[in-house]
Structure 1
Amino acid sequence: MSAPVEAGKPRLRHLRADFTASLVVFLVAVPLCVGVSVASGAPAELGLITGIVGGIVTGLLPGSSLQVSGPAAGLTVLVYEAVRTYGLDMLGVLVLAAGALQLAMGALRLGRWFRAVSVAVVQGMLAGIGLVLIAGQLYALADISAPSGGLAKIGGLPQLAVDAFGSAASVAALAIGAGTIAVLVLWPRLPSVSRVLPAPLAAVALATAATVVLDPPVARIQVQGLLDSVQPPGADGFARLAEVGVLGTVLAFALIASAETLFSAAAVDRMHDGPRTDYDKELVAQGAGNAVCGVLGALPMTAVIVRSSANVRAGARTKASRVLHGVWLLLFAAAFPAVLGIIPVAALAGVLVHAGWKLIPVKELPPLWREHRGEAVVLAVTAVAIVVTDMFQGVLIGLLAAVVKSAWETSHVHLEVSGPLHDGTGPLRVRVLGNATFLRLPKLLDELEALPRDRAIELDLSGLRHLDHACRTALAGWAEQHNEEGAVPVRLPA
C-alpha cells in the first residue's frame, strides 16, 4: 500500500508549487492586463477577459507547459491603431479572424518556421513597439490625450512638457506616474519583499493608495463591469473582412502574436528542465485562445515573457499554475470590479513606460554592434520603420532588410589570376570564386576591368557556387567587349 502513497507525493508537491506560482502570476497579471487594455483604447475589463482566456483556455491546451498567455505590451500599439481606425465593435472580428489564421498555421505545422525569422527583426520589432509605447504613455502620465502615429507622438513631446508643467492636475498625474516607475525600478532590489509581492502590483497598489489618501485631481480607470464589456462580433463586422486594410490588420495580429509567442517559448524553455515546447501545438493553443477572445470581443493574446518568467521563478511544475492564475483573474474580475475604478490612469501608464523600456534591448546593442554589425543595422531599421510607418509595414521592411543583409553577406565573389599580370605575353587564367549576385556586380566588374586589355584571358567560372542572371549578362557583355579587342574568346558555361 506504500507505493501509491509514495507515487502521490510528487504530485502533491507539484500541486503545492503550482498553487503558489499561480498566485504570483495572478498578482503580476492584474496590473499588466488592465494597463495594456487601457493603453489599447479598450475598457479595462477586456484585458482581464483576455488574461482569463489565456489562463483557462490556452493554459489547458498542449504546446508549452509553463509559459503564460494574456494581453501583451507588444501588441498595444497595433490594437490601439486598430480600435482607432475600425472601432471597438470591430475588435472581436479582427481577433477571431487572427485566431482562425493561427489555428490554420498550427494545423499546417508552420509553427517551426517562425524560428527562421531573424532574431534582429524580432528585437527590432519589440524595440519599435517599445519606443512608440513609451512615447504614447508619456502623454497618459500627464493625463493628456496623445496624438496618433509614432512620429506625431515623438514630435509632440516638447509641447507635452509645456502643457504638462502648466497644469496642476497634470503635475499631480506626473508625480504619480513617476513614483510608479521609481517603485518598479527599485522594488527588485529588495529581494525579501519582491519575492512576496511582485513589483507591478506593488507599484500600482502604492500609487492607488496615495491617490485615495491625497485625492489629487487625476483620471481614474473607467469601470463598466465584466459582462457589460463583452462585445461579441456582429455580422456587419465579418463583411468588412474583404477590405484590404482589415485583412492586413488580421495578418499583423496573427503573425506578430505568433512570432512573439514562439520566441517567448524558446526563452522559457531555457529557464526550466521540463518538457520542451511543441511549436505547432502551441500555435494551435494560441489560435484557440484568440478565437475565444474574438467571440467575447476581447483583446488579442500572446505568450508574455514577464508572466512566464515569473511563473518559472515561482517554482511552477505543470500547466496547472497558468490555469489557476486564470481562475484567480476570473474571481477577481467578478467579485471586485469596483477596485479597478480607484486606480489612477497615470499609475498604469508608468507600468507601461517601464514595460516599453524593457522591450528595447539597450544592453545587447553595444556588443551586437561590435560583433554582428549587420544584425544591429537590421534591428535599427526595423525599429525606426515601425516608428515612422506602422507595425505591419515596419516588420515587412525589417524582414526585407534582413534578407538583403543575408544576401550581401553570402554573395562574396573574388578573382584568382594565374600567370603574371604585367610581365608576360601569354594568356591569363582568371578563376571566379564564390557567389556572383547582383549585389556584388560592381565589385566584380571593377576587378575584371582592371585586368590588362592586351592579354588573352581564359575565364573559369567552375568555382562559382551561384551565378544569377544579372551577373551572367554582365559577364557576357564584358567578354564580348574584351573579345573585340583581339583576346582569346571568353566562353561562359551554359
Structure 2
Amino acid sequence: MTYSKNLLRADFTASLVVFLVAVPLCVGIAVASGVPAELGLVTGIVGGLVTGFLPGSSIQVSGPAAGLTVLVYEAVQTYGVSALGVLVLLAGLLQLLMGALRLGRWFRAISVSVVQGMLAGIGLVLIAGQLYSLADAKAPGSGPEKILGLGGLVLDTVGDSAALTAFAVGAGTIAVLLLWPKWSAGARVLPAPLAAVLLATAATAVFDLPIARVEVKGLLDAVQPPGLGDFGNLASIGMLSTVLAFTLIASAESLFSAAAVDRLHDGPRTDYDKELMAQGAGNTVCGVLGALPMTAVIVRSSANVAAGAKTKVSRVLHGVWLLVFAAAIPGVLGMIPLSALAGILVHAGWKLIPLRELGPMWRQHRAEAVVLAVTALAIVLTNMFEGVLLGLLMAVVKTAWETSHIHVETEDPGEDLPLRVTVLGNATFLRLPKLQDQLDALPAGRRVELRLEKLRHMDHACGLALSTWEEQHNKMADQTAERSRTAEPAAAEREGEDLLT
C-alpha cells in the first residue's frame, strides 16, 4: 500500500484522539499503581515509539493497562519502586523468547472464561481500592481488607468535609464519563476521559478546593533504571512468580485485545507471534527505564480505529505527542486532582467486569460462568497469580469432565457364555465413579468379557480399575458358580431323603 497524503491526514487526526484518551489513563494508572505519574507517560511513549514501529498488529495501541494495576501495586509495595524495572525487564525478555518460539498463537487456547474472570477480579479490586482514593483516603493492602473497610470509609467520609469535597469531584468525574459520550458534539471535540479530567481540574483550580493533587517529579527524575542490586531479589520465589504473572497476563491481554481489534477493521490481521515480540521489546525498554509494564489496550485501540487510523503511523505519532507533553508541560500534571483520576479508574474497573455476558453465559454455558466467577472471587480473596492459576485449573478440569463421556453396552451371546461388555468414549479418572456404578450393576454371578478396543482414550487410573474389576468380578462369578454346582447334589440328596421318609 502506497502511503499518501490522505492516509497521513487520517493517521494524524487519529493520533491526536488517541493521545487525548491516553494522557489521563496513563497518569491515573501510574498513580493507582503506587509509582510517579510520569512513569505512566513513559510507558505510553515507549508503546508508541518502540512497540508502535514493530510488526504484529498495525492498528492497536499499547501503553499502561488498568488490568495490571493491582498486580503492579502489590509488587511495588512488596519489593519497592526500584525493583519494578527488573520485573518488567524480565517479563519483556520472556515475551521476546515466547514470540521467537512461536508461542503467541497458543494464547488463543486460554479459556475465555478465565480471561474474563481475571479481568472481572482485577476490576473488583481496582474499584474497591479507588473508592478510597475518591475520598483522598489510604486504601488497605489486600482485597478482602478493602471490601471490609468500605463501611468505615463511608462513615469517615460523611464526617469529613474535605473527604466529601474530594468524593464529589470524583463522583462528578464518573458522571461526565457516563454522560459525555451522549453529547455527540462534545464527544467529537474531546474524548470523555480528557473532558472529565479537564472539568475536574478546572473546578478544583477555580474554587481552590482543599483536595489532593498529583505529585510531579519531572520526567527525568521519575525514570529510575534498575541497578545491579535490584536483581538480587530474583532468588525469591515471590519475585519470580510476579515476573511470570506479568508475562502471562500482559501477553494474554495484548493478544486478546488484538483479536478484538481485528474485528473492528478491515486491514491486515494480527500476526500473534510478531505482536508478542513487539510487546516484549516494549516491555524490555520499559524495564530498562524502570517504568510500568505495557500491554495492548482495547480502549485506546478502539479509539484509534474509530478515529479513522489506517496504519501504524497513528500509534507512533501518539507516542510523539505524549513525549512532547511530558517534556514540555509536565507541570500541568500537578493541577490534576487525585480523586478525578480515581473516578476514571473506577469507571475503567467497572468496564472490566463482563456484566452483559454473565446472563447469557449462565443460561447457555453454566460451567463457564462458574469458572469466571471462581476466578474473579479467588483474585479478590487471594492475589492475581493464585486466582488465575485456580481459574486455569478449573477450566482444565471442566474441559476434561465435559470430554470424558463414557457409557457401557452389553451383549448376551447365551447363558453359558460370558457377557460381552463394551466400554465406549473417553475413560478418565473423572468418570471412574460413574463407570464403576454401571459395571457393578451387571449380574454378579455371570462372567464378563470386557472389551476396550472402542475407547478413544483411557488414562492409567481407568485402565488399572477396569482390569482389576474384570478380574475380581469373574473370580466372584466363578466362586458363585462353584457354590451353585456344589449345592445342587446336596439339594438332590436331601430331596431323596425326604422322599424315603
Measured against the shorter chain, the TM-score band is over 0.9
TM-score by length of 1: 0.94
* Equivalent residues in 2 for 1:133-212, closer than 5 Å: 133-212=126-205
Q: CA deviation at 1:195?
A: 2.2
Partner of 2:470: 479
- SS of equivalent residue, structure 2 residue 422: strand
Is the aligned partner of 1:130 residue 2:123?
Answer: yes
CA offsets, 1:264-290, max 9 Å, x none? 001101111111111111111111111
- SS of equivalent residue, structure 1 residue 465: strand
Q: Following the alignment from structure 1 to structure 2, what is the Cα–Cα distance between the partners of residues 286 and 44?
A: 22
- SS of equivalent residue, structure 1 residue 435: strand
- SS of equivalent residue, structure 1 residue 364: helix
Is the aligned partner of 1:338 residue 2:331?
Answer: yes
Q: Following the alignment from structure 1 to structure 2, what is the Cα–Cα distance between the partners of residues 118 and 359?
A: 17
- SS of equivalent residue, structure 1 residue 396: helix
Q: CA deviation at 1:469?
A: 1.4
CA offsets, 1:328-348, max 9 Å, x none? 011111111111111110000
Q: Following the alignment from structure 2 to structure 1, what is the Cα–Cα distance between the partners of residues 395 and 294?
A: 27
Taking a change above 3 Å as real, the CA distance of residues 410 and 186 of structure 1, as seen in their structure-2 partners, is: same
Name stretches of at least 5 consecutive residues in structure 1 with no aligned partner: 1-6, 490-494
Is the aligned partner of 1:272 residue 2:265?
Answer: yes
- SS of equivalent residue, structure 2 residue 30: helix
- SS of equivalent residue, structure 1 residue 486: helix
One-letter identity of the residue aligned with 1:34? V
Q: CA deviation at 1:43?
A: 0.5
Count of residues in Structure 1 that have an aligned counterpart in Structure 2: 480
Is the aligned partner of 1:259 residue 2:252?
Answer: yes
* Equivalent residues in 2 for 1:409-420, closer than 5 Å: 409-419=402-412
Is the aligned partner of 1:102 residue 2:88?
Answer: no
Q: In terms of Rg, which structure is larger? A: 2
1:221 to 195, 214, 219: 214
Is the aligned partner of 1:429 residue 2:420?
Answer: yes
One-letter identity of the residue aligned with 2:153? L
TM-score by length of 2: 0.93
* Equivalent residues in 2 for 1:348-367, closer than 5 Å: 348-367=341-360
2:442 to 435, 451, 466: 451
Partner of 1:401: 394
Deviates most, 73-82 or 372-381:
372-381
Is the contact between residue 147 and residue 153 of structure 1 (CA under 8 Å) also seen in structure 2?
Answer: yes
Is the aligned partner of 1:42 residue 2:35?
Answer: yes
- SS of equivalent residue, structure 1 residue 485: helix
1:19 to 7, 12, 25: 12
Q: Following the alignment from structure 1 to structure 2, what is the Cα–Cα distance between the partners of residues 418 and 210?
A: 83
Is the contact between residue 171 and residue 343 of structure 2 (CA under 8 Å) also seen in structure 1?
Answer: yes
Is the aligned partner of 1:304 residue 2:297?
Answer: yes
1:55 to 48, 63, 85: 48
Q: Following the alignment from structure 1 to structure 2, what is the Cα–Cα distance between the partners of residues 236 and 367?
A: 51
- SS of equivalent residue, structure 1 residue 430: strand
Deviates most, 353-362 or 477-486:
477-486
- SS of equivalent residue, structure 2 residue 449: strand
Provide the identity percentage: 73
Partner of 1:492: none
Is the contact between residue 418 and residue 429 of structure 1 (CA under 8 Å) also seen in structure 2?
Answer: yes
Partner of 2:493: none
- SS of equivalent residue, structure 1 residue 363: helix
Partner of 1:323: 316
Partner of 1:463: 454
CA offsets, 1:232-272, max 9 Å, x none? 11010122222221111111111111110011001101111
Q: CA deviation at 1:426?
A: 6.0
CA offsets, 1:110-158, max 9 Å, x none? 1111111111111111111001000000010111100011111111111
Q: Following the alignment from structure 2 to structure 1, what is the Cα–Cα distance between the partners of residues 474 and 443?
A: 13
* Equivalent residues in 2 for 1:378-397, closer than 5 Å: 378-397=371-390
Is the contact between residue 425 and residue 455 of structure 1 (CA under 8 Å) also seen in structure 2?
Answer: no
Partner of 1:4: none
Q: CA deviation at 1:159?
A: 1.1
Q: CA deviation at 1:486?
A: 2.5
CA offsets, 1:138-196, max 9 Å, x none? 01011110001111111111111111111111111111111111111111112222122
